[in-house]
Amino acid sequence: MERAFAVSLKIPDNAAYTALVTLRRLGIDVARVERSDVYRVDDSGDAESFAARMERDETIFNPNKHRLTVLDRIEPRAGEVWIAMHEDPDRNPRRYTGWRLVDAAGAPVSADVLQAAADRLLANPAIEKAIIG
């Protein structure tokens, strides 16, 4: 069975802050930006211990600075765009950079705002593919 999870920083994320400031300068109305590494993995174990198994992989998770979120579906969440991290983004990538954008009311931004953010800053269309759920 294929599962997905996101690994984000629980310490301040300078890249997310820089993206926030830049998006605002570009005229995109966003109040908060969160960045994570999103992974798709094949897993035959039980769902209850999936997070614990992933947290034991020291190449992707450090408990001192990361938090792990198991995703319900293998697609971007509301207000999130995934940027394919593969040399050929049209092939079946297994790792993405996830960007979650939140508006001033604390709600996920719309798909139009996500698309504008991806087009203007978050993705390089020559080598990356932006996926909006």
Task: Report pLDDT digits (tens) over 92-104.
Answer: 678 999 999 999 9
Please give the pLDDT value at position 126: 84
pLDDT > 70? residue 91: no
Amino acid (one-letter) located at 62: N
Please give the pLDDT value at position 131: 95
Task: Please return the burial class of 123, using the count of CB atoms within 10 Å of its CB with bins 0-12, 13-18 and 19+.
Answer: buried
Please give the pLDDT value at position 48: 83
Instruction: State mean pLDDT over 71-96.
Output: 84
pTM above 0.85, yes or no: yes
Instruction: State mean pLDDT over 59-76.
Output: 95
CA nearest 8: which of 73, 80, 111?
Answer: 80
Identify the top-confidence range among 22-26, 43-47, 53-57, 85-89: 22-26
Torsion of CA 64, 94, 79, 15, to 10 degrees: 50
Buried b (16+ CB within 10 A) or exposed e, 76-92: bbebbbbbbbeeebeee
pLDDT > 90? residue 86: no
pLDDT tens by residue, 36-63: 999 999 988 888 899 999 999 999 999 9
Residue 57 exposure: Cα atoms within 13 Å on the Cβ side: 12
